Structure 1
Amino acid sequence: MHFENEVGIKIRNEWQKASLNLLYTSGFLFNGYESFFKRHGLTTQQYNALRILRDQYPTPISTSGLRDKMLDKMSDTSRLVSRLNAKGFVDVKQNPHDKRLVNIILSDKGHELMAGIDPELSLLDSLLSELNEEEAAQLSELLSKVRKSIKHASKRMRTTPVQI
């Protein structure tokens, strides 16, 4: 099925088609990730935070440090950490050097959860099983170019005056 028929709109040009196709496809990928992590009582963002904390372990990280490493920079990291703390997956302590900050570290229960998820991560890889390894690498390169293009275009959009 052609993309235009699948989404039911007339496409202006190949750049619009690529942009909309990327947005549309990211929804499918996101839903696949959400379904996977829901089986473990987590959201994709919560898993991402736990993954970062495990990579940092045993070094604690602040809320802002965690946010900087998150895939989704828009997430409310404080609320995310509160939920993970309530589930017992992280320990949160006040930073002894700066009382405005907290130190976040993966708890023993968080380590156990991550160890249980690890053997199943290949299920997430299977979301892109229609691509061979070379195609997956090519897609990653193209997506890096897309992010670079978006960063440059975003700067131009912010500085270009609006014509009324």
Structure 2
Amino acid sequence: MKELNEILKIKSKIPLSQATVINIFQTTSWMKDDLLLQLKPYDLSIEQFNVLRILRGQNGNAINLQDIQERMVSKMSNTTRLVDKLIKKNFVKRTICKANRRKVEIMITDLGLDTLITIDPIIDKTEKKITNNLTQDELTELNTLLIKLKNK
């Protein structure tokens, strides 16, 4: 197994905190690349896929843009732009709330649901491949540590 210094092609020892942050960034990039490769044939970004899963979780109920944004994995995403792209692909539809005409509601379409049904097993297989080198106990510990890291 390669050490981080070897991967980065550096000879000097770097502080453990710096090595950890770099390692997490590299791992995130590697994971995103693997997932993007699987989503590419469906013309979906990871963020668009995330929006579709959020909408599916609504079980046929509409949701507004702000609620989608709050549930996004990447909070930096431009939700309006993501939804607009999904509308063009007929994966989601936008409606005006009858009770409040200023409120826009978003729903997943049948095509969006069918696409997720097709993609889900592919993404599941990819996630299992990504985490294959870790035991269930190690995955649990890693999740615990990542949550602890975020709760600064």
Residue matched to 1:131: 134
Do the aligned partners of residues 128 and 106 (structure 1) sit closer, same or farther apart at CA in structure 2, a change above 3 Å counting?
same
Residue matched to 1:146: 149
| Unaligned segments of structure 1, at least 5 residues | 150-164
How far, CA to CA, are the matches of 1:138 and 1:40 in structure 2? Answer: 33
| Regions of 4+ moved over 6 Å | none
Residue matched to 2:86: 84
Q: Deviations over 1:39-80 (max 9, x none)?
A: 222111111100010011211100111010010010000000
Query: Residue 25 of structure 1: CA displacement?
Result: 1.1
How far, CA to CA, are the matches of 1:114 and 1:45 in structure 2? Answer: 14
Q: Deviations over 1:20-50 (max 9, x none)?
A: 1111111101111111111222111111100
**Conserved? CA contact 1:92–1:104, under 8 Å:** yes
Matched, 1:44 2:42: no
Residue matched to 1:108: 110
Determine what percentage of the aligned residue pairs are the same residue. 28
| Unaligned segments of structure 2, at least 5 residues | none
Let me know the Cα RMSD of the aligned residues. Answer: 1.3
> Scaled by the length of structure 1, what TM-score is found?
0.85
Say which of 7, 13, 16 aligns to 1:14.
16
Query: Residue 5 of structure 1: CA displacement?
Result: 2.1
How far, CA to CA, are the matches of 1:12 and 1:40 in structure 2? Answer: 41
Query: Residue 100 of structure 1: CA displacement?
Result: 2.6
How far, CA to CA, are the matches of 1:72 and 1:106 in structure 2? Answer: 20
**Conserved? CA contact 2:34–2:126, under 8 Å:** no
Residue matched to 2:73: 71
Q: Deviations over 1:81-109 (max 9, x none)?
A: 00000000001101223333211001011
> Scaled by the length of structure 2, what TM-score is found?
0.92
Residue matched to 2:5: 4
